[in-house]
Structure 1
Amino acid sequence: MAQSWSFLDVCESDFRPLVVIELAKSAKAETVEWFTKRIVDKKAKGGAQLLVKPLLTEKEGENIYLVGASHLRLLLGAETVGLVKKCSDNSMRTFTYSSRKTFKDFADDNHDFLTMAECQYIIKHELENLRAKDEKMIPGYPQAKLYPGKSIVRRLLTSGILVQIFPLHDREELKKLCHSWYGRVKVGYQPLDDVRCYFGETIALYFAFLEYFTFALIPMAVIGIPYYVFAWEDYDKYVMFATFNLLWSTVILEVWKRVCATMTYRWGTLLMKRQFEEPRPGFHGVLGIHPVTGREEPVYSSIKRQLRIYLVSLPFVCLCLYFSLYVMMIYFDLEEWALDYHEENDSNLSSLMLFVPSIIYAVVIEVMNRIYRYAAELLTSWENHRLESSYQNHLILKVLVFNFLNCFASLFYIAFVLFDMHLLRQGTFDDYLELFLQFGYVSLFSCVYPLAAVFAVLNNITEIYSDALKMCNIYKRPFAEPTANIGVWQLAFETMTVISVVTNCVLIGMSPQVSALFPDSKMEHVLTVALVEIFFDPVELGIDAKEWLSWVRSRVCLQQRPREECTSIATI
């Protein structure tokens, strides 16, 4: 194979490998030559204008190539993707090549102006935007059809010709990061700026949120330990803990928003213009002109996408949720059968039978989660979202709703249908999903099991070190993805906060102290009043507070007494 196009008039000593492309061993020579030529071709010819060099390995037949780019190409790419950098006056602005001299630490010979993660992100962006023009098929593979606008990388992946694309590690930088991150046991913050420079903003924000959430759990853990030791069995005392839970779950997410905004502004991703985000490789459609960017790219009707979402995906998710609830009710029936069997026989075998329903339910839930996750990925891909962020948001929401129902539906049933606080104290303990479920356990029902926060803190401390170890030594290095926040997970946690407010208010309404205020009222009436007070603010509605309280009292009273008596009670 000719090597003349591999360096683009750049000497070999200037070549800095950043990304690895592995093609199938059986890939045909004409296919490899065509693909690598498209990578190095000029932008005007539909290429990526990058550098490619074959990697010589001891294993025969391997098709592995190293991809890099000249310093000038990377700077132009930084402008294309809209990277935000710090200027000499300490302001943050979108990088442009024409004004490069105004940016802090910029010099023509300073190749460290862009981090390695940013350089790899630029190369990934250029590779993913290699799209077919006049080609009708992949050369050498007539069955691998192409049409104008189709992502070449995506077609090569789905056809099995392209095995994988991944960024290279920098051994020296990785060694330094490992030592400062998890190489020694210390009490302190993580080197998040270093993590961001090496792995990108998405990974750094995850570890930042994990660290923040761990510190935020400490007050709940500190209060939970003495509460567990001295007042756990006293049902009358959980009102105070539930009240603190209300404030805690609301405040921590508001503080996180500020912490996150401060951090991402310093990193430059808060100001990135996401409206110019390029289409994801899996997006397909008729080649056209995007109305905002003016660039040639696939176009797909948003109406068709919405029809797929609401007429296919949404009914499927609802059906899965119904099936999950049905399985949960079967589990409770099995629990009741096991208890009856144990009471009748009272033997070693019957004692073991008490654990069988829980084991079966846990296995079934795990199988259901895996099947649902696979189906959710297929559906979300079929919906044909233009942006990777939109694709991820829809996928996360599907998985999140199903996992929330699986994990917490039984707890809600025990708490608010069976009213069994003792049974509620027995519950079970992909990264953000684990934190989300953990937040649910702490914010929803920790007032009846106060050690939940303690175990969560211990788990998260272990999680920080183990996840750092996996990122540096076990997992393949991921491509950096600039992001300004934790995305749809912020909405998920905020939704959980609203649910936790309702849950804790209802638990307070069920307490003996609050019930004593309404001695003649049934439990459901007390809960109704609590929920009314949560969702309807008389001040916002322009209603006098005294009139509002009078109306609430009369509504509760009418359930128990004649109207004449209620009229006098309402005026108290």
Structure 2
Amino acid sequence: MEPAAGVSAQKMAESWSFLDNFEPNFTPLVVIELAKGTKKETIEWFTKRIVDKKANGGAQLLVKPLVMENGDENIYLVGASHLRLLLGAETVGLVKECNDNSMRTFTYSSRKTFKYFADDNHNFLTMAECQYIIKHELENLRAKDEKMIPGYPQAKLYPGKSIVRRLLTSGILVQIFPLHDREELKKLRHSWYGRVKVGYQPLDEIRCYFGETIALYFGFLEYFTFALIPMAVIGIPYYVFAWEDYDKYVMFATFNLLWSTVILEVWKRICAIMTYRWGTLLMKRQFEEPRPGFHGVLGINPVTGREEPVYSSIKRQMRIYLVSLPFVCLCLYFSLYVMMIYFDLEQWALDYHEENESNFSSLMLFVPSIIYAVVIEIMNRIYRYAAEFLTSWENHRLESSYQNHLVLKVLVFNFLNCFASLFYIAFVLFDMKLLRQSLATLLITSQILNQFAESLLPYWLQKRHKKRIKKRMCSLKTDTDLSLVEQINLEKEMGTYFGTFDDYLELFLQFGYVSLFSCVYPLAAVFAVLNNITEIYSDALKMCRVYKRPFAEPTANIGVWQLAFETMSVISVVTNCILIGMSPQVNALFPDSKMDLILTVALVEKFCHTWIKPWFDSCIVTINSITALDFIITSRCAHIPLTATCV
């Protein structure tokens, strides 16, 4: 990648020359684990490329082997000098705050103009940013004239091929992960979940330690939880005083459709405020490299002119439409078949209760829904693995394209699998009592299963593994710092955090349960709030104690999930409008004309998206801090001027 604007190539080359002499002592930031038995010539070649000068095609980083008692040298620690990190910050295009409070792309030549910069201030860059820079430099180690990995003739190379990706796909490089900073992690744990408190999460500290992607997820989780509180506050008295009146939901459904439209618009602004302060809102996107799993015949990229694998888009489309699409349709059909079995069980439970009229038979009414909820979770997880395999087999060139196709497959199946039965009960059976029972059971059961599978079980397994590591480390006799060796051996065996996909998916389904049919079961928002409060703490626990530290990934928003939530919002508006039109109160106004009823529902839906949403958008942009809404937003980001963040 070319140096950022503001620094000439000559000045950049002069800056690199300052890095010729490394200090042997450095702070380890990234851990590289090679396969045991890796050939010596391969290790020497790879480490030489890491420490070599940029002019020679190296990364110009620092490497130190971690030698164990048995003589293994398959673990290497990677770091960088302060100057190297500053030059790397310019290369990746990090945006920092200047002394005049503006946000600009960092350049080494104008470093003195940036706030908090000093030659001896090694905290100018966050640790997450430093690890991101090192990851970027390692991934951009390119083959020059090598035809293969030295020592491994089967691992082919060609000019421009990423060396790290070839090592990973060949099994020579086992893993690469950022190292935890125990002192900083201890402080973060204390302020994040170490004590029970009522207040905001330390999103800035989370961002500094884990990066913007993780911080935005927790910011959205926090915001969504607060947004659910009005629904919960209204839902409790509504549920208490209308327990047996299943059909009296018009007012709550009206509030529901307005709520689902408004909260996503508010989130857009809060997201823009945070990412502007973090610098990622203005950060330029880099040219996206091919994903590691992409394969094809070697050819020339017409855009970059570099030699890389080329795969026919026609073949990819054939795989998508002739294999993946029929498979997804087959899974959807199977999901509907399971749903009909569930309704047969419901009918059996109802008949059993009518025959016996006992406490046991009353409990049996909930058994089919519980079984169905468990089956839904199992089917969702099995389908997830199948969707990942199919999307990988489709051989998408870019990671963004891979993620979009994967999200589409997973969301379509999860939506039908989780909500088809509720739509069938509401609009085919017209049974509001059964709808309330099914919604309550599905929501609560899925939350319990997710908490167990995502947090409690991994934490328990990690605790057992930690005890085994400590016993093994106590028996070792080595001159290496025991605490560092113990830390690395513990972290390299931890589970890998594969991103926020599953976390957003859980919130997406929860948003669907609340926004679609909570007018029939008003306590849905209450259980969602309670679940999200525990989710904040359990997710924080697993990020700090269960999984390896993930690499930071700069991002300006929640990506494709924003579109997914907005799509669910549109569906919820239409659903609530239909429910309003089906209610006895509205039908009493139109006793003889179904056409008037249909037109009324259509007009309500049109009014929400044609008038309410644009009106709210204009209010968000034009009204300043005199409103309660701006007071809430600015209390979260108090030191950012509103005029500077209305992007």
What band does the TM-score fall into relative to the shorter chain?
0.7 to 0.9
Aligned to 1:443: 515
Aligned to 1:563: none
Aligned to 1:187: 198
Distance 1:362 1:155, change over 3 A: farther
AA aligned opposite 1:9: N
Distance 1:306 1:40, change over 3 A: farther
Shift of 1:357: 4.4
CA distance, structure 2, for counterparts of residue 187 and residue 353 of structure 1: 39
Distance 1:343 1:194, change over 3 A: same
Contact in 2 for aligned 1:8/1:51 (Cα 8 Å): no
Q: Which has the larger radius of gyration?
A: 1
Contact in 1 for aligned 2:258/2:608 (Cα 8 Å): no
CA distance, structure 1, for counterparts of residue 161 and residue 127 of structure 2: 29
Equivalent of residue 121 in structure 2, options 97, 100, 110:
110
Shift of 1:458: 1.1
Aligned to 1:528: 598
Distance 1:8 1:378, change over 3 A: farther
For the aligned residue pairs, the C-alpha RMSD in angstroms reads 2.9
Contact in 1 for aligned 2:65/2:73 (Cα 8 Å): no
Equivalent of residue 223 in structure 1, options 230, 234, 237:
234
Aligned to 1:478: 550
Aligned to 2:331: 320
Shift of 1:341: 5.8
Aligned to 1:462: 534
Aligned to 1:70: 81
Contact in 2 for aligned 1:290/1:296 (Cα 8 Å): no
CA distance, structure 1, for counterparts of residue 573 and residue 373 of structure 2: 28
Contact in 2 for aligned 1:23/1:161 (Cα 8 Å): yes
Secondary structure of the structure 1 residue equivalent to 2:146: coil
TM superposition score normalised by structure 2: 0.76
Q: Sequence identity, in percent?
A: 88
Between 1:364-373 and 1:63-72, the stretch displaced more is 364-373
Contact in 1 for aligned 2:300/2:308 (Cα 8 Å): yes
Between 1:249-258 and 1:68-77, the stretch displaced more is 68-77
Equivalent of residue 48 in structure 2, options 28, 33, 37:
37
Aligned to 1:335: 346
Secondary structure of the structure 2 residue equivalent to 1:80: helix
Distance 1:251 1:515, change over 3 A: same
CA distance, structure 1, for counterparts of residue 510 and residue 608 of structure 2: 34
Aligned to 2:24: 12
Distance 1:352 1:246, change over 3 A: closer
Secondary structure of the structure 2 residue equivalent to 1:163: strand
Shift of 1:304: 5.1
Q: Structure 2 unaligned segments of length 5 or more: list them.
A: 1-18, 444-501, 611-647
Aligned to 1:512: 584
Summarize deviations over 1:60-107 as a string: whole Å, max 9, x none: 535100011222322222222221111221111122223323222223
Aligned to 1:552: none
- How do 1:377-456 and structure 2 match up within 5 A? 377-426=388-437, 427=439, 428-429=442-443, 430-456=502-528
Between 1:400-409 and 1:202-211, the stretch displaced more is 400-409
Aligned to 1:488: 560
TM superposition score normalised by structure 1: 0.85
Shift of 1:494: 0.5
Contact in 1 for aligned 2:128/2:210 (Cα 8 Å): yes
Equivalent of residue 281 in structure 1, options 292, 305, 308:
292
CA distance, structure 2, for counterparts of residue 303 and residue 535 of structure 1: 40
Aligned to 1:548: none
Shift of 1:34: 2.3
CA distance, structure 2, for counterparts of residue 327 and residue 148 of structure 1: 52
Contact in 2 for aligned 1:232/1:448 (Cα 8 Å): no
Contact in 1 for aligned 2:581/2:598 (Cα 8 Å): no
Q: Structure 1 unaligned segments of length 5 or more: list them.
A: 1-6, 541-572
Secondary structure of the structure 2 residue equivalent to 1:214: helix
Secondary structure of the structure 2 residue equivalent to 1:496: helix
Summarize deviations over 1:251-282 as a string: whole Å, max 9, x none: 11000000000110110001111253444333
- How do 1:105-254 and structure 2 match up within 5 A? 105-254=116-265
CA distance, structure 2, for counterparts of residue 273 and residue 159 of structure 1: 32
Contact in 2 for aligned 1:150/1:298 (Cα 8 Å): no
CA distance, structure 1, for counterparts of residue 361 and residue 526 of structure 2: 34
Secondary structure of the structure 2 residue equivalent to 1:237: coil
Count matched residues.
531
CA distance, structure 1, for counterparts of residue 306 and residue 284 of structure 2: 16
CA distance, structure 2, for counterparts of residue 471 and residue 328 of structure 1: 36
Distance 1:195 1:296, change over 3 A: farther
Matched, 1:87 2:98: yes
AA aligned opposite 1:400: L
Shift of 1:474: 1.9
CA distance, structure 2, for counterparts of residue 322 and residue 149 of structure 1: 45
Distance 1:109 1:24, change over 3 A: same
Secondary structure of the structure 1 residue equivalent to 2:226: helix
Secondary structure of the structure 2 residue equivalent to 1:175: helix
Between 1:144-153 and 1:452-461, the stretch displaced more is 144-153
CA distance, structure 2, for counterparts of residue 227 and residue 202 of structure 1: 38
Shift of 1:224: 0.6
Secondary structure of the structure 2 residue equivalent to 1:98: coil
Distance 1:321 1:160, change over 3 A: same
